[in-house]
Amino acid sequence: MKYSLASFISGLIFGLGLIVSGMSNPEKVLGFLDLAGLWDPSLAFVMGGAILVGLGAFAVARRRTLSFLGFNMKVPGHTHIDKRLVIGGLTFGVGWGIAGFCPGPALVALGAGETKAMVFVAAMVAGMLIFEVLERRSAKA
């Protein structure tokens, strides 16, 4: 129960942060990504703040064996950059640049009833299903 409550509160705070920062507004995101046009640098501060918080959180997490809720810590330790990671990152970036959404903000915008987010989330789920089918086929081969 405490895990579900903590997850809900964390998700709520994260979603509110995405709304307040403008990350759930695709026009603002596309303005940030438009370096050759009317560039809006405000999201750089949001991202910089997120990076600082993340660095601090990972520094604390690496020294702990249990989370604050008492669960085992599972901090990623894999640092190898391979072809799949690069292709995945490029695909993510192209999708973000075309749509102005990444998964978290898209779900927030979907919850707000944004039509563009409905299309994006449907395409995202379809892409995840296609990936899963292809992964299972390659594992069998």
For residue 29, the model assigns a pLDDT of 87
Q: Quote the mean pLDDT of the chain.
A: 89
pLDDT in the model for residue 102: 87
pLDDT of residue 120: 92
Average pLDDT over residues 9-26: 89
Backbone angles phi, psi at 35, to 5 degrees: -70, -25
pTM confidence score: 0.74
Question: Is the predicted pLDDT of residue 77 greater than 80, yes or no?
Answer: no
- Give the separation between CA 2 and CA 133, rounded to whole angstroms: 34
Q: What is the pLDDT of residue 24?
A: 86
Asked if pLDDT for residue 75 goes beyond 80, the answer is: no
Burial class (CB in 10 A: 0-12, 13-18, 19+), 29: buried
Q: How confident is the model at residue 90 (pLDDT cuts 50, 70, 90)?
A: very high
Residues of the domain holding 13? 2-140
* Tally of structural domains, the chain: 1
Give the pLDDT of residue 67. 84
